[in-house]
Structure formats: structure tokens, C-alpha cells
Structure 1
Amino acid sequence: MAPLPSHPLYIKFLEQCVDSPPRVRGLSFQVYTDLLLAKQWWSVQPIDVPSLDKIVLVARSQQHDKREWIIPMNPQENWSMEWLSRTFANLSSVARGVESVVLAIVSTDATIVYYRIHKGLVPPKETKEA
């Protein structure tokens, strides 16, 4: 992979979050490229959210699906119910109606694990009996 500053996707990524702190760009860019290239998601947009001290990615898994809010994290970050409440509150200032987020946890070996977290209680999906 080319060094980040000269990578064509990094240049496009940076144009959309030029004011973000450099320390959060690498992790977010890794998730950004995973969504675009490996998972082939639609319209992946980085958004700098200073109140979270993160670049949040907004994307669609399919062209006509609803927007997903993806939060890049490293495994050493602590998160709690309080942190999740603050996260939903901070995202509400960016966009209305954020009911779930996807935590993209990037390990040191570049593996990314995605966890969907809903705001409040969500009933399980109904399954068809055979």
C-alpha cells in the first residue's frame, strides 16, 4: 500500500475531514478503505465530529439502504453505557434520527470487527418456523 499522504483514496478522504486531528485519521482511513474496497459499500463519507474526538463514517451497505453511522475505534478504548449515551447525543447534533451505530474495532493486525449498537431496546427479528 502506498504511504498514506500519497494514496489516492487518502487524498479524497482528507479533503472531507481536513480539520480533524492527525491522530484520528489513520484509524478512520483504515475503516474507510475496508468499507469502500473490501465490503464495497456505497457513498462512504467521513465526518469530523470534534465532540467525539473522532471521524465518523456515514455509509450505505447497499445503494438504497439507510445510512449507517460507523465509529472507528481501537481495542484499547474504553466504552460504557455512559459513553454510548454521550455518543448518541453528540451524533444527534450532527444528524437527527440516529438510532444505531456500528463500532468498527481495528486490532493491531488490521482485523476489523463490526458491532452494531442500538439506542434503547430493540426487539429481536421474527424468524419463520420450518
Structure 2
Amino acid sequence: MESLVSYPAFESIAKRYPQAASSLFATYNDLLHAQRWEDLEVLDLPPCNRGALKGRKPNTDSTLFVVPCSMSETLSTSWLIDALRTLDEPDGIYLAISTEDSSIVYYRISRGFAKPPL
């Protein structure tokens, strides 16, 4: 991982939270290269023991937050609340769940109940 071009962007966070480094790596590269997000930043998320990502989808002005995790991890509602509080995003965050084959599924997590669009 250290030899990759994108590694310096998340090196300090990956060293701080090695158990979450592979999910951060996979999500960062997916958002940067496949999804073409702009202004992508790696953030420290100490209550969740991992890094998070902040950026914008192409041709949009809205800043979005993504918290990477692995499919093999067990998450709790208190963990999600900590992520929402720390990122202080009233519209919610995206949870990026990665698998061993590098597939990533994104779920939108909101505070409280959110009515889906019809």
C-alpha cells in the first residue's frame, strides 16, 4: 500500500488506525478514481478509531462525508451516532462498506428517521 501514489494522502491516518486502513484505502481510491470526487480530504475520526473522507461529487457544490468500514466489522448505533456527531453533518453521512474482493457499497445514514423520496 505504501508504494501507491495515493498513499501519502492518508498515510498518517492509516498508521494511526491500521485495522481500518484497508477500508480507507479502498474507499479513497474508489471516490478519487472511479467516482471522480473533487476536493477529497482525509479526516481523523477518533471516536470511531478510523479516518473519514470529505469531498464533493463531480459538478456539485455540496460537501459530503464518507465513513469507510469493512463488512467483517460489527458496528453499533452508538458508533454511528459518534460518527454523525464528530462530523457534525445535519444531512447525514455515507457509510462505505468494503468487502474482501474490494467491492464497496455506500449507504446513506441520517439522524432520526428520514422519509425516502417518492
Q: Tell me the TM-score normalised to structure 2 length.
A: 0.85
Residue segments in structure 1 that go unaligned for 5+ positions in a row: none
* Percent of residue pairs identical: 29
Q: Is the 8 A contact 2:54 2:66 kept in 1?
A: yes
Deviation, structure 1 residue 78: 1.8
Deviations 1:29-73 (A, max 9, x none): 111000011111111111111121010011111243311110111
Tell me, which stretches of 5 or more residues in structure 2 are unaligned?
none
Alignment of 1:1-130 (within 5 A): 4-14=1-11, 17=13, 20-92=16-88, 97-126=89-118
Distance of aligned partners of 1:11 and 1:42 in 2 relative to their CA distance in 1, 3 Å threshold: same
Paired residue total: 118
The alpha carbon displacement at 1:25 in A equals 2.3
Give the alignment's Cα RMSD to 1 decimal: 2.0
Q: Which one scores higher on RCO, CA 8 angstroms, separation ≥ 6?
A: 2
Quick check: which has more Rg, 1 or 2? 1
Q: Which amino acid is 2:11 matched to?
A: L
TM-score (normalised: structure 1): 0.78
Secondary structure of residue in 1 paired with 2:16 = coil
Structure 1 residue ranges (4+ consecutive) displaced by more than 4 angstroms after TM superposition: none
Secondary structure of the residue that 2:40 maps to in structure 1? strand
